[in-house]
Amino acid sequence: MVRAMVGAFAAAALAVAAGARGAAEDGPKWDWGSGDSGPNGWAANFPDCGGKSQSPIDIVPELTSDPANLTVLGDMVNYSDEASFDVSQAYGSPKFSCSEAGTCGSVAAPDGTTYEVLQFHFHAPSENTINGMAYPLEMHIVHQNENGDLGVIGVLFTTEDVPDSDEAVAPLWKKVDATEGTIKANLNNFVNPESGFFSWQGSLTTPPCTEGLQWVLQKETVPISPAARNAFWNYIGGFPGSARPTMPLNGRIVTANGFPTPASRG
Q: What is the pLDDT of residues 67-108, one digit of tens each?
A: 878 899 999 999 999 999 999 998 888 999 999 999 999 999
- Alpha-carbon distance of 207 to 262, in angstroms, equals 27
Output phi, psi for 217, to 5 deg. Answer: -120, 120
Q: What DSSP line would sit under 127-192, residue for residue?
A: SSEETTBPPSEEEEEEEE-TT--EEEEEEEEEE----GGG-TTHHHHTTTT-SS-EEEE-GGGTS-
State residue 41 phi and psi, 5-degree precision.
-115, 0
Q: Helical H runs in 20-101?
A: 42-45
Can you tell me the distance from the alpha carbon of 92 to that of 80, in angstroms, rounded to the nearest whole number? 28
pLDDT in tens, the chain (266 residues): 433 333 333 333 334 433 333 444 567 899 998 899 999 999 999 999 999 999 999 999 999 998 878 899 999 999 999 999 999 998 888 999 999 999 999 999 776 789 999 999 999 999 999 999 999 999 999 999 988 889 999 999 999 888 766 677 877 877 788 888 899 999 999 999 999 999 999 999 999 999 999 999 999 999 998 888 888 888 887 777 899 999 999 999 999 999 876 544 44
> Which residues, 6+ apart, have CB-to-CB distance to 25 below 8 Å?
19, 90, 91
Segment holding 11, helix H or strand E: helix 10-19
Task: Give the pLDDT confidence score for residue 7 in this predicted structure.
Answer: 33
- In the three-class reduction of DSSP (H, G, I as helix; E, B as strand; rest coil), residue 235 is classed as helix
Give the sign of the dihedral formed by CA 220, CA 59, CA 121, CA 85: positive
pTM for the whole thing? 0.88
Burial label, 224 (beta-carbon count in 10 A; 0-12, 13-18, 19+)? buried
Tell me if 128 sits within 8 A of 138, measured CB to CB: yes
Q: Are 113 and 145 in contact (CB under 8 A)?
A: yes
Residue 142 dihedral angles phi and psi, to the nearest 5°: -95, 130
Give the separation between CA 55 and CA 206, rounded to whole angstroms.
9
